[in-house]
Structure 1
Amino acid sequence: MAKRILVVEDNDLNRKLFCDVLKAGGFAVEPLADGRDVLVRAREFVPNLIIMDIQLPNISGLELIEALKGDPELRMIPVLAVTAYAGKGDEERIREAGAEGYLAKPVSIGPFMMAVKALV
């Protein structure tokens, strides 16, 4: 059975790219543009990994990671944060929130797939 990945990315082009690359890699993918739906979709889809953009409209990816890690049902799902925030201290802050992986945008396909495979 294919590993399931929830892709949370508000940018249409990035979301499509991530999903296309993951599907080509044999993963079952659920795209999500609105972070407010993450907890509900994570319960329904039961992903093996969540790829989380940090800068989302309405709610920050940091808040979502903290909410996921604070939920007994969802806390074991690894999170790969993908963000344009690549300043000093950003990775540390994102990892402290609970993300197991971190990639700065723009993302290259090779490192992206290596990070995904390391977490599923």
Structure 2
Amino acid sequence: MSKKVLVVEDNELNLKLFCDLLRAHDYIAEPVRDGREAVERARAFEPDLVIMDIQLPNVSGLELIETLKADAQLKPIPIMAVTAYAAKGDEERIRAAGAEAYVSKPISVMRFVESVESLV
């Protein structure tokens, strides 16, 4: 059975790219454009992995990671953070919030797929 991946990304091009890549590798991709819907959608979809953009409007990806990891039902789900703003110390803050993996944008397709495969 195919693994399910929840993709939280507000940029339409990135969202399409991530979902297309996942589907090409036999994953079921569920797009979420608004981070405010991420926790509710994660509960309903029960993904095997969450891919989380860090720079989201209305809510921080870091806050969402902390919220997901604080929820007993969602805590076991691995989170792969993706961000274009990779400043010194960002990866440490993202991992401290609870993300198991970190990929910077623009993504390397191979690294993206390898990271997904290592987490599910």
- TM-score range relative to shorter protein: over 0.9
Q: Distance in 1 between matches of 2:50 and 2:85?
A: 18
Aligned counterpart, 1:89: 89
Structure 1 segments unaligned to the other structure (5+ residues): none
Shift of 1:94: 0.3
Aligned counterpart, 2:12: 12
Aligned counterpart, 1:71: 71
Q: Distance in 2 between matches of 1:21 and 1:94?
A: 23
Shift of 1:54: 0.1
Alignment of 1:90-105 (within 5 A): 90-105=90-105
Structure 2 segments unaligned to the other structure (5+ residues): none
Q: Deviations over 1:57-109 (max 9, x none)?
A: 00000000000000011000000000012110000000000000000100010
Give the aligned CA root-mean-square deviation in angstroms: 0.4
Q: Distance in 2 between matches of 1:32 and 1:88?
A: 28
Percent pairwise identity: 62
Aligned counterpart, 1:114: 114
Q: Distance in 2 between matches of 1:102 and 1:72?
A: 22
Task: Return the TM-score normalized by structure 2.
Answer: 0.99
Runs of 4+ in 1 over 6 A off after TM superposition: none
Q: Deviations over 1:19-47 (max 9, x none)?
A: 00100000001001000001110011000
The amino acid that maps onto 2:107 is V
The amino acid that maps onto 2:7 is V
Aligned counterpart, 1:3: 3
Q: Distance in 2 between matches of 1:77 and 1:35?
A: 17
Shift of 1:51: 0.1
Q: Distance in 1 between matches of 2:97 and 2:80?
A: 12
